[in-house]
Amino acid sequence: MDRTVLLASPRSFCAGVERAIEIVDRLLEQRGGPIYVRKQIVHNVHVVASLEAKGAVFVEELDEVPPSATVVFSAHGVSPAVRDEAARRELDVIDATCPLVTKVHAEARRFAARGDTIVLIGHEGHEEVEGTMGEAPMVLVETADDVARLDLPGDQISYLTQTTLAVDETVEVVDALRAKYPTLLSPGSDDICYATTNRQVAVKAVAEEADLVLVVGSRNSSNSVRMVELANRSGTPAYLVDDASEIKPEWLEGARVIGLSAGASAPPELVDEVISALGPRSVVERTLAEETIQFTLPSAVRRAQ
């Protein structure tokens, strides 16, 4: 059966992910292995495996890193407690935190300094959330139901969000917060990052035309999971796959138009492999936004060029 693949754009790597991967790659070239990385540099099994093959060593906590070794903090950011521990152990830290996550951390410190009660909208246990919550006392909520159970002190209440949330669901939570706390204070600009928003808009557009949506990404990638959920909420069956090998033939039965995208941490070549695996097809690109943002590398990496 001939098929049409609607290719959502933007898709795959965002600027923060590209920066984080380049940091590890350059350190491996400049210093040789091992280069230690706390947690997954980005949430994608293929990226992690590729860097491991080059000499990166991924660890869960800093006590697994030898004294004075080089350690990279992942794109998701870390709490001040982790930074303090690295300093105590005299580790050579290279920070690959996405600048948009760093912005949220700075907002948390600013809100706390002016005495706000802070509400963070995010997913419990996510590394980005753990890092942000380490910056200041705050309350975590995920849904409007969580908001209904809040009983917050004071009349100066502000909110922050994880950068990789579903835009529409986050609006519902913010609306619930504002209904309960009318003087709610907002961040200076949206915390959900441009790349997350763009990929959600694009996948929703192709979902409205498709019989099936495939999103390339790993299961611990928040932005990839949100894209699948968004497509499903649009009424189109959608599935998350790490690569083409995970596509089940029964998903494709009767699907003449397949929407295809990839989360911000998924390598673009994996999308090409999925297209090849889908057999005879025409490929039509649906471009909803152009991304030109680039982030500067840390000075320690630039100096060693």
Instruction: Indicate whether 186 belongs to any domain.
Output: no
Q: Which residues are annotated as a binding site?
A: 14, 43, 76, 98, 126, 163, 193, 221-223, 265
pLDDT tens, 98-143? Answer: 999 999 999 999 999 999 999 999 999 999 999 999 999 999 999 9
Q: What digits encode the pLDDT tens for the residues 217-261?
A: 999 999 999 999 999 999 999 999 999 999 999 999 999 999 999
Q: Name the nearest CA neighbour of 274 among 40, 16, 11.
A: 11
Range of the domain at 155: 100-180
Give the domain-ending residue among 148, 180, 212: 180
- Beta-carbon contacts of 27 under 8 Å, excluding residues fewer than 6 positions away, are 35, 70, 72, 94, 301
| Cβ 109 vs Cβ 115: under 8 Å | no
Q: Which CATH number belongs to the domain containing residue 114 in this structure?
A: 3.40.1010.20
Nearest 5°: the CA angle 74, 227, 39 is 15
Active site residues: 128
In a domain, 91, yes or no: yes
Per the CB < 8 A criterion, the answer to whether 21 and 301 are in contact is: no
Q: CA-to-CA distance for 281 and 279, rounded, in angstroms?
A: 6
Q: Among 149, 180, 211, give the residue marking a domain's end.
A: 180
Of 180, 205, 236, the position where a domain reaches its end is 180
**187 located within any domain:** no
Total number of domains constituting the chain: 3
Collapse the DSSP code of 275 into the 3-class scheme (helix H, G, I; strand E, B; otherwise coil) and give the result.
helix
Tell whether 172 is covered by a domain: yes
Does 89 share its domain with 160? no
pLDDT tens string 145-200: 999 999 998 789 999 999 999 999 999 999 999 999 999 999 988 899 999 999 99
For residues 57 and 123, membership in a common domain is answered with no
Domain presence at residue 188: no
Q: Which residue has the tokens 């951390």?
A: 105
Residue 189 lies in a domain: no
Task: Measure the CA–CA gap between 266 and 45, rounded to whole angstroms.
Answer: 9
